[in-house]
Amino acid sequence: DQQVKQNSPSLSVQEGRISILNCDYTNSMFDYFLWYKKYPAEGPTFLISISSIKDKNEDGRFTVFLNKSAKHLSLHIVPSQPGDSAVYFCAASGAGNQGGKLIFGQGTELSVKP
């Protein structure tokens, strides 16, 4: 069963506008959520995280929102830039998880057009 789901495989946005990437999860025991960004032929790189005790975390142009009642998180990128074009993975980890195992979603490919 897919515990972390990204239902949109792709998203296209105009440069300067807001990009909103969504992620749903099923396991209420997850205590951290992360977003990773991946360019072709490179490994994913960490972007931003949020603890389950918070509902918002902001880092420059990137903000992650967490809605625990809906088991939903989203990543907002404002303003979007062409260099943001990449695949974005949502990931989650549970309390007491030995080794810090992360469970990833399917990914959303973001294309920011100039």
Q: Does 85 bind other proteins (CB under 8 A)?
A: no
The least distance separating other proteins from the CB of residue 103, rounded to whole angstroms, comes to: 8
Provide DSSP, 83-96: GG-EEEEEEEEETT
Q: Nearer to other proteins by C-beta: 6 or 63?
A: 6
Question: In angstroms, rounded to a whole number, what is the distance separating the alpha carbons of residues 35 and 86?
Answer: 12
Provide the mask over 39-58, with x wherever binding to other proteins is found by CB under 8 A and - wherever it is not.
--xxxxxx--x-x-------
Question: In angstroms, rounded to a whole number, what is the distance separating the alpha carbons of residues 80 and 112?
Answer: 7
Query: What is the bridge-based pairing of β-strands 108-113 and 10-14?
Result: parallel
Q: Does 98 bind other proteins (CB under 8 A)?
A: yes
Question: In angstroms, rounded to a whole number, what is the distance separating the alpha carbons of residues 104 and 60?
Answer: 24
Q: Does 59 bind other proteins (CB under 8 A)?
A: no
Chain residues binding other proteins by CB under 8 A are 6, 9, 32, 34, 36, 41-46, 49, 51, 89, 91, 93, 97-107
